[in-house]
Amino acid sequence: MKIVAVTACPTGIAHTYMAAEQLERTGEKLGHQVKVETQGAMGIENALTGEDFLEAEAVIFAADIPVMGRDRFKEIPLVLEVPVQWAIKNPVAVFERLQG
Amino acid sequence: MTFQHRFAFPLVRGLHARPAAALRERAHLFRADCLLFNEKTGRSSDLRDLLSLIATNTGYGDPCRLAVQGQDAGSALEALSTFLEGAFLESDEEPAAPSSGGIGTVIPQLLQKASVLWWTGQGLSPGAGEGLAVLASGLALPAEEPRLRHTPADLEIKTFAAALAQVEGELLTESTHAEHPTLRAILEAHRGMLQDRAWRGSVAQGIQEQSLTARSAILEAGRAWAKTLEASDQALLRERAADVRGLSARLVRALGGPGPEAPLQTPEEPYVLVARDLPLNQFPRLDRTHLKGMVLTECGPTSHIAILARTFGIPLVAGIHGLPPALAPGARLLVDGAQGIVIEAATPEVGRYFSVESEGQKIHQERLKRHATQPAATRDGHPVAILANLSLAEEASGAFALGAEGVGLFRTEMLFLERAVPPSEDEQFELYRAVLQAAGDRPITLRLLDSGGDKPLPYLRLPLESNPFLGQRAVRWYAQHSDIIRTQIRAALRASAQGGHLRMMVPMVSEASELAWVRQLLEEEARQLQVPAPPLGAMIEVPAAALSLGALAQHADFFCVGSNDLVQYLFAADRNLPAVARPEFAWHPVTLRLLDGIVRAARAAQRPVSICGEMAARPELLPLLVGLGFDALSVAPSAILDLKHAVGTLEASACEDLAMQALACARAQDVEALFRPSSARQPTRPVVEAELLELDVPCLTKEEAIKRLAERAFLSGRTRAPRVLEEAIWSRERVFATGVGYGFAVPHCQTNAMECATLAMLRLVEPVAWGASDEPPVRTVLLLALPGEDVGEAHLRLFARLARRLMDESFREHLENTPDPQTLLETLRSEVLTIW
């Protein structure tokens, strides 16, 4: 599956990046194509592009604060929102949940 | 006609002081006599007598009867019974511990959750100590004081009434100014006790029928009432006994003469002294080997007892009014003098938490000691002598070991206190010689006797003054008792003839003629003894003197600013009264302009000028004082190490610029903004060093682990406020705990308390719980701390990379297993820091 994701946490120093790392690693292992945009203390990094949005079949929001540019995702059929901690502690479960 | 109402007493904690006060207040609305009968204890009381009400020893469910008689009895009974069933039930609420203390108090997280009792007050001498609480509240008059009166009963009754009026007035003022509602309620309850007619009656009876003096009648009544209360089976009533004792002592003091506190019995084990105040002369007599802390109700930051506490490194907290009555016998207290927190019955976890901090302080001191022998100078070579303030000869050698370059203020009052005649010339000679000898070639600045209405000496026979700080202090009585001052000068001259480097200075000078008088006396005595007259200086503590240095310089060889008094007189704010003596007066632009004028005038007259007083000991004010141009700072011995180190980190020219900016400020807070910069002060330090990696440490709690990390950051010089850092970490933890699974946690924060971006790591022997109970415990803790502003993107990038690497199992294994900090540092460098 082609999946996009956004990670964000209150201070944007640590959890944002740990969650991004987990989603990328685990997604790859499970055979997905995952691209994660981080919204942290350094601002938006690895920003999702128009092409990403067109191709994405699902989006994961692993965020404890409101995601910036939420409108960008409105065309994506499958949406999953989880606390940032879930992505860090049990990323496999996050993907399982996505697939129902 | 008598109206009656029967009821079972509804409050679980019995009829203690607050509900009793509430009942009393209601009863005062009516004219009828209102009586409470407790049919279980068989005691009764008028509702208007607070102490008697408490003494009915009424507990939960006791069968009680309210009997109301008189003019408006019907409506009174109706109102009172409605009250008993309604609003009365709310008068039993748990007294809340004051939750926020003085400015800058940071309550450790552990106390916010642990079920221990704690109070906050004003921390006046840093450090933490724990021991058995010793209450200085035993009641006994001096043995030689007659118990029986030779005066007519009427006169003693009048005296008693006057004392009552005075203490009632004081309590009213105190409760009006009390900020915390619990404290206000306690003070009001005390006032109510004083108004108790039954108790007043027993004092009057003692005077009339047993021919007691008012002083002994008060004490006997106090003892009897305290005993009744102590016999109660209600804990809250037993605790009121201490209130009754305290109030009796206060009344006796109000009658004049020596206070009724019995000589202190101190235990042969660590103890914490709890008292209303501690007379200065009692301090030297305390057993200091076991004294681990002091809790004094009435003490300000510049009180002499606070000065002595700092000198001897005894933690001191002041201003906790609710504490002494609340203490149970045998209670143990932990005193945190840095933050002003007093904890009762600290758990082992709390104890360990504070010992982490004490150990940190100890290591910090040991490190500073390495530079103790060097004279203090700024980085660009501008010397600023750091001298000691001493009160006792025994302090001298310790002060020099800490690096004092001399004694800038040797207070001589201790020798003169508590005696019927002044010390002899020989006795003084011995003391001065001992200090001069301990000092070697370092200068000793002896302050001539600074006593008067505020530190009364019986042989001076000064009239009682309503305003002793503005009265006949020091040089103002010298001419009247020239024999005393002449003896002191002779003793000092003789001592200096035996060696050493003596200087003398005159306290409380306000005009040149006073100084000229002392100068003449000094020269006469020097001629007679055929010794050279030592340098003579003037203390600048009266604004009039501060504005006339040119004239004073004709008679003075040096000047020493006494900042505590100067600020007190400048702002007309009693330095012992926290309500008016605000700490920021010390750096108020008005104070700084006066200091600037003093330094300039001293320079123009080519006289050196030093400063002693509490502001000289504050490291954050040091750049200002160096910038203003003081030649020397004289401080409590405990502050010397920090200050000497701090001088070495300064650049004299930058200090001058800072002082110029401060002088141009309008408000104290503008000055504060200058010396408390909010951005990173050490932007180029490496993020991690081996000393920040603490491996295989035993730790009981998450609180202790975070504390250790904060202490590490402090010891490596990355923060000066470890408690603030700690609190910043906790405020992030409260959003959600930073455990990330796999036995790892990544606490992090951004705070002005940090001076540079920092990565610290703690690996525990046994894991500790980090978040909710179902979350796995944590053994490896990585702290990421950033300064408040000017955070370079490089640091953020580095932390982001570290966070990502932590998701890699092999990297985690490295962190969990690498045996020593140096190897671990290499791992971190190669794995994480390479991109930086």
Parallel, antiparallel or unpaired: strands B443-447 and B501-506 = parallel
Q: Give yes or no for a contact between B103 and B120, defined as CB atoms under 8 angstroms apart.
A: no
Chain B nearest CA to A68, separation (Å): 19
Distance CA B798, CA B835 (A): 8
Q: Average pLDDT for residues B618-631, to the nearest whole number?
A: 94
CA torsion angle for B631, B635, B638, B642 (degrees, to 10)? -30
Q: Do A25 and B749 touch (CB under 8 A)?
A: no
CA–CA separation, B248 and B229 (whole Å): 14
Q: Which residues are within 8 A (CB) of B673 and not within 5 positions of it... i.e. 6 or more apart?
A: none
Structure-block tokens of residue B170: 């004081």
Do B804 and A20 lie within an 8 Å CB cutoff? yes
Asked which of B61-65, B566-570, B656-660 is least confident by mean pLDDT, the reply is B61-65
Give SS3 for B130.
strand
Structure tokens at B578: 């926290």
pLDDT at position B96 = 36
DSSP-derived letter for residue B455 is B
Strands B63-69 and B33-38: antiparallel
Q: Which of B136-140, B250-254, B762-766 is the least confident region?
A: B136-140
CB contact under 8 A, B799 and A20: no
Helices (H), B498-588: 512-529, 543-546, 549-552, 563-571
Counting DSSP H helices and E strands in chain B, the numbers are 30, 26
B799 touches chain A (CB under 8 A): yes
User: What percent of chain B is modeled with pLDDT above 70?
Assistant: 88
What span, in angstroms and rounded, lies between the C-alpha atoms of B394 and B197?
52
Amino acid occupying residue A6: V
A20 touches chain B (CB under 8 A): yes
Question: In which band, very low, low, confident or very high, does the pLDDT at B583 lie, cut at 50, 70 and 90?
Answer: confident
Q: List the domain range (segments joined by +) for residue A14.
A: 2-98
Per-residue pLDDT, averaged over B673-689, amounts to 77
- Banded pLDDT at B790 (limits 50, 70, 90): low
Check pLDDT > 50 for residue B836.
no
Q: What is the CATH number of the domain that holds A32?
A: 3.40.50.2300
Distance between CA atoms of B615 and B465, rounded to whole angstroms? 29
More confident residue, B579 or A27: A27
Which of A9, A25, A26, A88 should we substitute to test contact with B (largest number of B Cβ atoms within 10 Å)? A88
B251-257: long-range contacts, CB 8 A cutoff, minimum separation 24: B251/B160, B251/B163, B251/B164, B251/B167, B251/B218, B252/B141, B252/B163, B252/B215, B252/B218, B252/B219, B254/B163, B254/B166, B254/B167, B255/B159, B255/B160, B255/B163, B255/B214, B255/B215, B255/B218, B257/B145, B257/B215
Question: Which among B830, B826, B832 has a CA at the least distance from the CA of B807?
Answer: B832
Q: How far is A22 from chain B (nearest CA, A)?
A: 7
Interface test with A, best of B740, B770, B791, B808 (most A CBs within 10 A): B740
Question: B693-748: per-residue pLDDT in tens?
Answer: 999 999 989 999 999 999 999 999 899 889 889 989 998 888 888 888 889 999 99
Task: Compare all CA atoms of chain B with the CA of A89 and give the residue at the minimum distance.
Answer: B741
Domains of chain B: 2-92 (3.30.1340.10), 114-137+264-365 (3.50.30.10), 153-254 (1.10.274.10), 383-675 (3.20.20.60), 690-835 (3.40.930.10)
Structure tokens belonging to residue A7? 């990670």
3-class SS shares of chain B: helix, strand, coil, % to 5: 45, 20, 35
Half-sphere exposure of B378 (CA within 13 A, CB side): 19
pLDDT greater than 70 at residue B260? no
Tell me, what amino acid is at B71? Q
Partner-chain contact A42 B796, CB within 8 Å: yes
Average pLDDT over residues B536-550: 98
B654 has a chain A CB within 8 A of its CB: no
Tally the residues of chain B. 836
If you average pLDDT over residues B72-76, what whole number do you get? Answer: 89
Higher local confidence (pLDDT), A41 or B652: B652
**B-proximal residues of A, 24-53, CB under 8 Å:** 25, 38, 40-42
Does any CB of chain A come closer than 8 Å to the CB of residue B806? yes
Tens of pLDDT, residues A68-95: 999 999 999 999 999 998 999 899 999 9
Confidence tier at B101 by pLDDT (50, 70, 90): very low
Across the interface, whether the CB atoms of A15 and B749 are under 8 A apart is answered no
- For this structure, is B34 an active site residue? no
Quick check: B748 and A11 CB within 8 A? yes
Q: Do A18 and B796 touch (CB under 8 A)?
A: no
Whether A85 and chain B come into contact, CB under 8 Å, resolves to: yes
End-to-end CA distance of chain B: 93
Q: Does B461 touch chain A (CB under 8 A)?
A: no
Question: pLDDT > 90: what percent of chain B?
Answer: 42
* Catalytic residue IDs of A: 9
Q: Is the pLDDT of residue B522 over 50?
A: yes
Largest distance between two CA atoms of chain A: 34
Give the C-alpha separation, B135 to B141, whole Å. Answer: 17
How many folded domains does chain A comprise? 1
Alpha helices in B347-394 (DSSP H): 348-369
User: Cβ contact (<8 Å) for A89 and B738?
Assistant: no
Question: Which amino acid would we find at residue B666?
Answer: A
Spatial CA neighbour of B721 closest among B688, B677, B691, B763? B677
Interface subset of A 63-82, CB within 8 angstroms of B:
64
Pair type for strands B609-612 and B693-697: unpaired
Q: How many other CB atoms sit within 10 Å of the CB of residue B523?
A: 12
Which chain A residues have a beta carbon less than 8 Å from that of B771? none
Partner residues linked to B539 by β-bridges: B560
ipTM for the whole complex: 0.92
For the four alpha carbons of B34, B39, B40 and B41, in that order, the dihedral sign comes to positive
Q: How many other CB atoms are found less than 10 A from the CB of residue B338?
A: 20
Predicted pLDDT at B233: 67
DSSP three-state, residue B502:
strand
Q: Confidence class of residue B184 from pLDDT cuts 50, 70 and 90? A: low
Nearest to A14 among B741, B746, B797 (CB): B746
Contact B753, B686 (CB under 8 A): no
Average pLDDT, chain B: 85
Reported confidence tier of residue B102, pLDDT bands at 50, 70, 90: very low
CB contact under 8 A, A13 and B807: no
pLDDT tens readout for residues A20-50: 999 999 999 999 999 999 999 889 999 999 9
Interface test with A, best of B793, B799, B836 (most A CBs within 10 A): B799
B100, pLDDT greater than 70 = no
Q: What are phi and psi of A37, to 5 degrees?
A: -95, 130
Instruction: Band the pLDDT of B577: cuts 50, 70, 90.
Output: confident
Cβ pair A16:B784 closer than 8 A: no
DSSP code string of B61-115 = T-EEEEEEESTTHHHHHHHHHHHHHTGGGGGGPPPPPP---STT----HHHHHSS
* Phi, psi dihedral angles at B689 (to 5 degrees): -135, 160
Judge contact between B591 and B622, C-beta under 8 A. Answer: no
Chain A environment of B807 (Cβ under 8 Å): 18, 21-22, 25, 88
